[in-house]
């Protein structure tokens, strides 16, 4: 249906609401996913809906966050500034030691020292420099989360793949894809990662639009040497798990995979930042995945630090605006919406 006939159709449906029947209103309804353009990605997704693999409650759980729209930094600072100024900040860590009761110290086993030293190297990094990642370093990072170390054979059950990270039912439903932009000996492009063989296969070109558009408008996405995207195979998961907690399990599993990758990266002096601010539908289209069989859930960006930049991810102008808001601001209030964390 053309925009003009969509306008006419809306006037028929809602007589007397001329505001709805304008081109601008139609574009807004399309952007919000209330109207669906024929042959668009969303239209294809909707047509595949009856191929849905999960029971409806599980699917509703996974759908609830699919169309989050992330703010740009200029809007985010308005909302966050207002929050900081107008609402008490909750305690960001718990120190329960002030209630007069006695607590018993646990101590830390010295045998954990080595692993703690490595954990201590991980810090989210958002200022990536131009130094490329070494291919083997990237291979190690990806393998630490998705690599298959061995197999478990138990009577009457499938042969289970075992990774460095736990997986519900050992179903191993995650595949990693890579947007490689600055990796030595690896041509820029989109790669699928084979965790069994620690190999990558180039499956396409990087998009021409800035990658930040796919990751909540965050500038670091344009500068990272590589971004790993974790995609879950809903169909495989539903083979065994179909109840609403199946989706929780996937989110938790993606966190385990990402954490191993980030700690491994830190051990190799590579910086990383995770994000759930992913344009799921956009990335799935880019990677050639078919929702609702497969879905993008989480992503981790990697690269070497640019030591000449501040670790504060706010730009100078955003910081100046935050100062303004915190000191005095009588301007119009903006509604609080979802922001990348
Ligand atoms: C689920 C999740 C999502 C996150 N999303 C973002 C994000 O979109 N952008 C970002 O810059 N950091 C993101 N972070 C990183 C947190 O901001 C960061 O972990 C936190 O500030 C603590 O800093 P640290 O990672 O250096 O310990 C995310 C972390 C988690 C666990």
- With respect to residue 328, please indicate whether it lies within any of the assigned structural domains: no
| Beta strand 189-194 pairing with 226-233 | unpaired
For ligand 1, atom 5: residue with the closest CA: 275
Expressed in angstroms and rounded, the spacing between residue 49 Cα and the centre of ligand 1 is: 32
**Span 36-44, mean pLDDT?**
81
Pair 233, 175: CB distance under 8 Å: yes
pLDDT in tens, 14-31: 776 666 667 788 888 887
For ligand 1, atom 22: residue with the closest CA: 124
Expressed in angstroms and rounded, the spacing between residue 132 Cα and the centre of ligand 1 is: 23
pLDDT recorded at residue 1: 62
Cα Dmax for the chain: 75
Pair 263, 274: CB distance under 8 Å: no
Does the beta carbon of 218 lie inside 6 Å of ligand 1?
A: yes
pLDDT recorded at residue 159: 97
pLDDT recorded at residue 2: 67
Whether pLDDT at 82 is above 90 = yes
Angstrom distances, CA of residue 98 to CA of 102, 103, 151: 10, 10, 49
In the structure, what pLDDT confidence band is assigned to residue 69 with cuts at 50, 70 and 90?
A: confident
Q: How many structural domains does the chain have? A: 2
For ligand 1, atom 20: residue with the closest CA: 124
pLDDT recorded at residue 337: 44
Regarding whether 137 and 223 lie in a shared domain, the answer is yes
Write b or e for each residue in 218-232: b if 16 or more Cβ atoms lie within 10 A of its Cβ, otherwise e.
bbbbebbbbbbbbbb
**Span 168-178, mean pLDDT?**
97
Mean pLDDT (the chain) is 90
Regarding whether 150 and 28 lie in a shared domain, the answer is no
Total Cβ atoms within 10 A of residue 259: 17
The CATH code of the domain that includes 252 is 3.40.109.10
Whether pLDDT at 336 is above 50 = no
**Where is pLDDT greater, at 145 or 3?**
145
Does the beta carbon of 278 lie inside 6 Å of ligand 1?
A: no
Regarding whether 24 and 166 lie in a shared domain, the answer is no
pLDDT in tens, 234-284: 999 999 998 889 999 999 999 999 999 999 999 999 999 999 999 999 999
pLDDT recorded at residue 335: 44
For ligand 1, atom 31: residue with the closest CA: 274
Regarding whether 112 and 30 lie in a shared domain, the answer is no
pLDDT in tens, 175-209: 999 999 999 999 999 999 999 999 999 999 999 99
- With respect to residue 314, please indicate whether it lies within any of the assigned structural domains: no
DSSP state for residue 209 in the 8-state scheme: S
Does the beta carbon of 332 lie inside 6 Å of ligand 1?
A: no
- With respect to residue 211, please indicate whether it lies within any of the assigned structural domains: yes
Expressed in angstroms and rounded, the spacing between residue 296 Cα and the centre of ligand 1 is: 18
Residue 221 sits in which domain range? 108-303
- With respect to residue 185, please indicate whether it lies within any of the assigned structural domains: yes
Q: pTM score > 0.95 for this model?
A: no
Closest C-alpha to 340, from 138, 124, 174: 124
- With respect to residue 75, please indicate whether it lies within any of the assigned structural domains: no
Closest C-alpha to 195, from 163, 242, 221, 237: 163
Total Cβ atoms within 10 A of residue 299: 26
- With respect to residue 228, please indicate whether it lies within any of the assigned structural domains: yes
**Span 122-151, mean pLDDT?**
98
DSSP letter string over 106-146? ----GGGHHHHHHHTT--B---B-SPPBPHHHHHHHHHHHH
Expressed in angstroms and rounded, the spacing between residue 16 Cα and the centre of ligand 1 is: 47
For ligand 1, atom 11: residue with the closest CA: 341
In the structure, what pLDDT confidence band is assigned to residue 58 with cuts at 50, 70 and 90?
A: confident
- With respect to residue 223, please indicate whether it lies within any of the assigned structural domains: yes
Pair 249, 243: CB distance under 8 Å: no
- With respect to residue 283, please indicate whether it lies within any of the assigned structural domains: yes
Whether pLDDT at 330 is above 70 = no
Distance of CA 138 to the CA centre of its chain: 19
How much of the chain exceeds pLDDT 70, in percent? 92
Is the bond preceding residue 340 a cis peptide, omega within 30 degrees?
Answer: no
For ligand 1, atom 3: residue with the closest CA: 275
């Amino acid at each position: 249906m053309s925009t003009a006939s969509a306008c006419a159709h809306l006037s028929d449906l809602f007589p007397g609401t001329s505001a709805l029947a304008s081109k601008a209103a139609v574009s807004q309804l399309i952007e919000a996913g209330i109207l669906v353009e024929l042959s668009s990605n969303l239209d294809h997704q909707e047509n595949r809906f009856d191929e849905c693999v999960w029971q409806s409650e599980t699917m509703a759980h996974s759908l609830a966050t699919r169309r989050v729209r992330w703010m740009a930094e200029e809007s985010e600072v308005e909302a966050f500034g207002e929050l900081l100024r107008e609402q008490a900040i909750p305690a960001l860590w718990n120190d329960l030691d002030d209630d007069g009761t006695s607590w018993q110290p646990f101590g830390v086993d010295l045998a954990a020292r080595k692993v703690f030293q490595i954990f201590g190297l991980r810090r989210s990094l958002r200022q990536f420099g131009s130094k490329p990642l070494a291919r083997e370093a990237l291979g190690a990072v990806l393998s630490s989360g998705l690599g298959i170390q061995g197999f478990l054979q138990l009577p009457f059950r499938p042969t289970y793949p075992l990774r460095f990270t736990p997986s519900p039912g050992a179903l191993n439903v995650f595949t990693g894809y890579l947007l490689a932009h600055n990796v030595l000996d690896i041509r820029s492009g989109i790669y699928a990662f084979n965790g069994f063989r620690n190999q990558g296969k180039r499956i396409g070109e990087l998009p021409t639009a800035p990658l930040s558009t796919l990751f909540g408008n965050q500038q670091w996405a344009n500068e990272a040497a590589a971004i790993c995207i974790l995609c879950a195979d809903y169909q495989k998961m539903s083979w065994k798990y179909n109840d609403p907690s199946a989706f929780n399990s996937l989110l938790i599993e993606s966190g385990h995979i990402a954490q191993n990758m980030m700690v491994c990266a830190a051990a190799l002096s590579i910086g990383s930042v995770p994000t759930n601010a992913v344009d799921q539908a956009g990335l799935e289209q880019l990677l050639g995945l078919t929702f609702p069989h497969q879905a993008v859930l989480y992503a981790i960006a990697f690269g070497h630090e640019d030591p000449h930049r501040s670790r504060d991810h706010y730009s100078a102008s955003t910081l100046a605006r935050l100062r303004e808001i915190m000191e005095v601001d009588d301007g119009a209030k903006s509604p609080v919406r979802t922001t990348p964390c």
